[in-house]
């Protein structure tokens, strides 16, 4: 589906009802039709005679950034079912362009790779028109939104891909192919490299799987950046292509959707892709920890003691707390890059979902100002977040009698926070105030449509992180 800045006549005109107010210039037949359907500005309604599709904006103000995008995402699902080839929308303000485009492009997404019969969609083009903006401004906004939406929808495909296909090797090769296609660098490291790096925690998680683990290092620098002092960002992504829980085996119901445990790593690929497509003037790196947590005679066990890359020892009490072990070594590796900002993205804890709900990312870290700044930028991008405060008393809960740390706390209360504090132990001391932990367990994958997100993967974290990079880029 293409979005074009054009005044061409379309099959259907989408009429946006800002603040759910019906326009005053309705024809008599339109008033009668809307009255017949009982339409008062809620949801959407097609008046076939005039070929107008009325879309109510739930709460149209810029305090609630998703109102316009969400309404159009819902509308596009209905329009896709009609036998039309084109639709047009009038844009009033420049800031609406991106929201309209994201609503359409993200709302139109569906994952049908494994369906024998694909959905047939006639709608191919959406025309953006404006009486107050020139075509150049419209086209610029469209191209920026498309760059981001393409990256998000690609990430959704990756996350939705089932585990028998999306192995660590598949993920590494996907990242490499995307890097070549879009224009950033990719280095892939196998288990021999992990052994040389003394990443014992990472290797332990992958030990029982038939699929070899990989660490992938993605990097982007804008063309002509030589000699420039650019802000440096490093994003670390948890990439558990499947998590059975290991010997601390998950119950059957909890294994479903565990293909989404790679959402953090997938999001990092999407961030690098979006930055490269947009040509943002910043140095950006991505570190992916790709592994599969399985059972077998070679599986790591509760009671094992592992030595991480930074030489801290970890007592294993639960093999289902594996993501933090992979991230521990990846954060240590990422710290060596000495970034200005170090963020990790991970579907880390169910406790974060309990605390904040399905649709909200948990923000954690030591720097209060950085947490608040990121939350503000994330909100403006359309992503909802909640800050969970580190509590020094909770840090005592993951102390071990026989090692430096235990991989699970001694109390289940506050366990999203203790998981974040555990990760902080593997960030270089000099980077503590530059680091944020983003727990995307809630919004990364949901089995019901919400806002611009259909069933399944959402691409959580990409919009917020890209917007944050833009806010810091020169």
Active-site positions? Answer: 250, 324
Q: Where are the alpha helices (DSSP H) in 186-226?
A: 191-196, 200-206
CA distance 9 to 21: 25
Residue of 278, 334, 6, 249 lying closest to 143 (CA atoms): 278
Residue of 330, 241, 222 lying closest to 284 (CA atoms): 222
DSSP reduced 3-state for 91: coil
Which phi and psi angles does 89 have, rounded to 5°? Answer: -135, 135
Do residues 468 and 377 make contact, with C-beta atoms less than 8 angstroms apart? Answer: yes
Residues in the chain: 474
Q: How far is CA 325 from each of CA 208, 218, 305, 321, 387, rounded to the nearest angstrom?
A: 15, 21, 12, 7, 23
CA distance 237 to 457: 16
Token pair for 40: 């008062």
CA distance 311 to 199: 9
DSSP reduced 3-state for 237: strand
Q: 93: buried, middle or exposed (CB in 10 Å: 19+, 13-18, 0-12)?
A: exposed
Tokens 């555990």 identify what position?
A: 422
DSSP reduced 3-state for 292: strand
Q: Checking DSSP bridges between strand 185-189 and strand 86-90, what pairing results, if any?
A: unpaired
DSSP reduced 3-state for 169: helix
């Amino acid at each position: 589906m293409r979005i074009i800045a054009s005044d061409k006549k379309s099959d259907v005109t989408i009429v946006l009802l800002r603040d759910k107010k019906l326009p005053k210039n309705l024809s008599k037949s339109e008033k009668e039709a809307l009255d017949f359907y009982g339409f008062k500005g809620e949801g959407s309604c097609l008046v076939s005679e005039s070929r107008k599709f009325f879309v109510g904006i739930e709460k149209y103000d810029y305090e609630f950034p998703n109102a316009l995008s969400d309404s159009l995402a819902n509308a596009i699902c209905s329009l896709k079912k009609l036998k039309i080839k084109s639709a047009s929308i009038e844009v009033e303000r420049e800031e609406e362009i991106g929201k309209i485009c994201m609503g359409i492009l993200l709302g139109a997404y569906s994952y049908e790779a494994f369906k024998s019969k694909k959905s047939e969609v006639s709608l191919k083009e959406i025309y953006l028109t404006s009486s107050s903006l020139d075509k150049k401004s419209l086209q610029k906004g469209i191209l920026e939104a498309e760059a981001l939406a393409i990256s998000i929808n690609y990430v959704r495909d990756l996350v939705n891909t089932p585990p028998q296909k999306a192995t660590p090797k598949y993920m590494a090769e996907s990242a490499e192919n995307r890097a070549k296609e879009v224009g950033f660098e990719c280095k892939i490291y196998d288990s021999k490299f992990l052994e040389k790096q003394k990443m014992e925690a990472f290797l332990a998680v992958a030990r029982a799987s038939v699929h070899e683990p990989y660490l992938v290092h993605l990097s982007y620098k804008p063309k002509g950046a030589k000699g420039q002092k650019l802000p440096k960002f490093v994003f670390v992504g948890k990439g558990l292509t499947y998590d059975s829980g290991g010997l601390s085996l998950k119950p059957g119901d909890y294994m479903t959707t565990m293909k989404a445990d790679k959402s953090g790593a997938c999001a990092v690929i999407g961030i690098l892709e979006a930055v490269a497509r947009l040509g943002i003037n910043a140095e950006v790196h991505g570190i992916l920890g790709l592994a599969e947590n399985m059972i077998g005679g070679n599986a790591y066990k509760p009671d094992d003691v592992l030595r991480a890359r930074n030489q801290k020892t970890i007592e294993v009490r639960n093999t289902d707390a594996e993501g933090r072990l992979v991230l521990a070594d990846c954060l240590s590796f990422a710290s060596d890059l000495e970034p200005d900002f170090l963020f990790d993205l991970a579907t880390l804890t169910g406790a974060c979902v309990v605390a904040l709900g399905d649709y909200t990312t948990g923000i954690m870290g030591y720097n209060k100002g950085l947490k608040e700044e990121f939350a503000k930028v994330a909100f403006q991008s359309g992503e909802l977040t909640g800050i969970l405060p580190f509590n020094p008393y909770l840090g005592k809960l993951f102390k071990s009698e026989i090692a430096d740390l235990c991989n699970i706390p001694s109390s289940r209360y506050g366990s999203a926070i203790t998981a974040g504090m555990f990760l902080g132990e593997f960030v270089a001391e000099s980077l503590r105030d530059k680091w944020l932990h983003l727990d995307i367990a809630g919004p990364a994958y949901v089995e019901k449509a919400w806002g611009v997100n259909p069933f399944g993967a959402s691409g959580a974290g990409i919009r917020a992180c890209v917007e944050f990079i833009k806010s810091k880029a020169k």
